[in-house]
A and B are shown apart, each in its own frame.
Chain A
Amino acid sequence: MTSSQVVQRPEAPAAAPAAPGRSTPKRASRRTLTPRVRRRRWLGLAFAAPGLLFYGFVVIVPILQSLNYSFYRWDGVTNATWVGLNNYISFFTDPALLESLGHVLVLVVFFALLPIVLGLLSAALLGRGKLRGGGVYRWLLFLPQVLTSVVVAVIWKRIYGPDGPLNEALRAVGLGDLAKNWLGDFNWALPALGVIGTWTALGLCMVLFVAGVAAIPTELYEAARIDGAGPIREFFSITLPSLRGQVAVALTLTVTGALRAFDLVWITTQGGPGTSTTTPALILYRKAFLNPDVGMAAAIGIVLAIVCLGVALVITRLSEEKDA
């Protein structure tokens, strides 16, 4: 056994370079390696087992439980009644939930699109050449990402207050007419919330992009300059295409962030005024904890999870397709 192992070992890496050829070598390697590889694989699985078990217990099992709950009408205490797909049907027919989905679309603009555009801009500015104190800018812009969302929400609640710094500043420069109850105004509450999200996500996007820009070979820029490209042409021809991977990551994180938006909304407006800032996650929380309708809450959670997964898949697929 030992001897065969010693003989066998070099064969595995040997198979790797042949991989591009695909069909025939693969078949051959499988025939000779199967028993041992399989044993080794089981051994690897055994090592991973504690971690997998833990993951299964805290992630997979709750997901399956939620899936199960979503088919019932249940107050969380007494016996549940099977309702089939009713919870899912009411998700797409309930006006309150549909309205909240509309709000999410607005939030996607503020949580994802704006930070990415601004992040690209700042990366283009910070990444090009040495900027004096560039580190300080990066540090300042990344700060919101480090703060707990509750702290962020409380700070902004103050900023948006009737006599808060924002209104004071507007009045100070003679724009007092623009001062308003940002979070209490039916038209302005949602955009005001969105700006908080932009502020928070900007740092993350920028740091991602700046790191990406640093990895672009300078020869490319030099070549472009020799060809007579200006900064704008340089950005669109070199910087942006090279950052595709980073943009995909940022987009995935921020779009799912918008879909999940809860903490900011709960602390600043509780979905008000009226229902002008409700999000599906907010309705989920209410259904799960405040007026227990656990089945409906689980259904909302499952739908959100599927949408998040779909968004992530589409984004990675799109960004990879162009690479290939």
Chain B
Amino acid sequence: MKKRHLAGALALTAGLALGLTACAPGGSSAAGSSHAVSKDVSGKPVTLKILDFWQGEEGKWMDSVVKDFEKQHPNITIKRTTQDWGQVMNTLNLRLADPNGPDIALVNNGWQSMGTLAKGGRILNLDAYSDLYGWKKEIPDTIARQLEFTPDGKQMGTGSLYATPAARSSLIGLYYNKEILDKLGLPVPKTLADFEKDAAAVKAAGITPIAYGSQDKGSATSILFATQDLYASSTNIGDFVYSSGKVPITDTGIVDAAKDVKKWADDGWFTPNYPGVQYADAQSEFLGGKAAFRFEYTGSLGFSDAQKQTMGYVQLPQVQGGKVVGTGSTAANLSISAKSKHPDAAAAFLNFMASKTAAQQAVDHGFLPLLHSGLSTPSGNPELATEIAAQQALDKGNGYVPYFDWSTPSMIDTIGGQLQQLYAGQVTPDQLAAAGQKDYDAFQAQRKQG
């Protein structure tokens, strides 16, 4: 009798499985937004739900922007949901499928996040709003390109606008501790050669030159990406990341950068035992004044008032020709959920997040602004002044390049792992580049399949 039950259960399972396998998973593909768009958002009370990852000082900046917006639009209430970056990114695809999900969400660049969402029709094509508000005219090309996809999701860096920038930027560059440099009588480096001279002198004085740990794969890569920008043209790096298919990885400066970084590691310029040092520990080592330099994303070192007096930031110029090229983008991209019932109000908020008011709020909270100049910088924050100077140097030559890890969904993990192997002497810079190319080719082949 037991056997019969088992057989019955099996039959039922098989039947269910067949029934299920018959239907392919997946949602609607790209839905066009054909409704009329409007700037007029006054009238009925509206609540907008926003999903973001801004905590700490960044959260305070966001709160102040929200407050200013609500003052301007008394009928609109903004409800923030804040989680850490990983939480937001890992659950975003599902949350945007929910009709009661967020109206506005922070979406990451690249194929895996914005590209997939655009292709799947989960975020609105913002072209109509862009025409209405004139976004494409106001946002510089290099930034707008980071937010564009063709509606079929096949091409990145061209096509329709799927997100707008917040008026805050994020660069990768070199932070220095002026106190240490002054004590040793060293100048603030203006070139890569200067930097290496300084670092050697710091090392000779018995101080750690570069605060760095490679235990955490993902964040270990920033030093490589920053150095890479000093070797290749911004066009080449951009074309590689946006998958034009014409530029091999060896033309993106990654081999030269890997050689430099390996040399620094072998010369003992990194934090002692760096393969076992975690990201946060390397950060606090630099903040604690125990190392002279650190390659880092702007806005991620939370400086105290005292540290703002002694720290500085520099965007080193390229080794050949001295042009300033650097990895930089908006600190976050805002997209509107295709399921949002209030797209007009949401678009008004997106417009506000890119406004001069929001940029000024960023500066007031000690962050780099974007899109706007002529902001009043608070006195007593010389650190931010050096970041703004660096950004202006980038602006002047339009030297922004996209984050290298947007090129494929697995690039950051591949390069991070390869970098750890490079330090351990298991791969050469050329092999590191080859592994990156392999990752890239595999992804391109997969993309062609549809």
Contact = CB atoms under 8 A, between A and B. Distances in A.
Interface of A: 60, 64-65, 67-69, 71-82, 157, 160-163, 180-186, 269-275, 286, 289-292, 294
B320 interface: no
A273 B424 contact: yes
Contacts of B20: 64-65, 67-68
B276 interface: yes
A80 B25 contact: yes
B214 interface: yes
Interface of B: 13, 16-17, 20-21, 23-27, 29, 89-90, 93-94, 97, 112, 116-117, 119-120, 122, 153, 214-218, 272-278, 281, 408-410, 413, 416-418, 420-421, 424, 426, 449-450
B112 A68 contact: no
B116 A76 contact: yes
B420 A69 contact: no
Nearest to B281: A161
Contacts of B450: 81
B17 A67 contact: yes
Given A68-B21, A74-B25, A183 B424 contact: no
Contact of A270 (B112, B218, B421): B218
Contact of B120 (A60, A68, A77, A182): A77
Contacts of A69: 25
Given A160-B276, A184-B275, A77 B424 contact: no
Contacts of A294: 25
Nearest to A182: B276
Among A80, A162, A186, A292, which residue has the most Cβ atoms of chain B within 10 A?
Answer: A162
A272 B217 contact: yes
B417 A291 contact: no
Contacts of B119: 77-78
A157 B408 CA distance: 30
Contacts of B424: 186, 273-274
Nearest to A298: B25
A166 to B, nearest CB: 11
Contacts of B21: 67-68, 71
A294 B215 CA distance: 28
Given A270-B217, A274-B421, A292-B93, A79 B29 contact: yes
A274 B420 contact: yes
Nearest to B27: A77
Nearest to A161: B276
A162 B273 contact: yes
A74 B26 contact: yes
Contacts of A73: 449
A273 B421 CA distance: 7
Contacts of B449: 73, 81
A273 B417 contact: yes
Nearest to B25: A80
Contacts of B420: 184, 272-274
A321 to B, nearest CB: 20
B79 to A, nearest CB: 25
Contacts of B29: 78-79
B215 A77 contact: no
A162 B272 contact: yes
Contacts of A272: 215, 217, 416-417, 420
Contacts of A161: 276-278, 281
Contact of A78 (B23, B116, B281, B426): B116
Contacts of B214: 184, 273
A205 B311 CA distance: 53
Contacts of B116: 75-78, 292
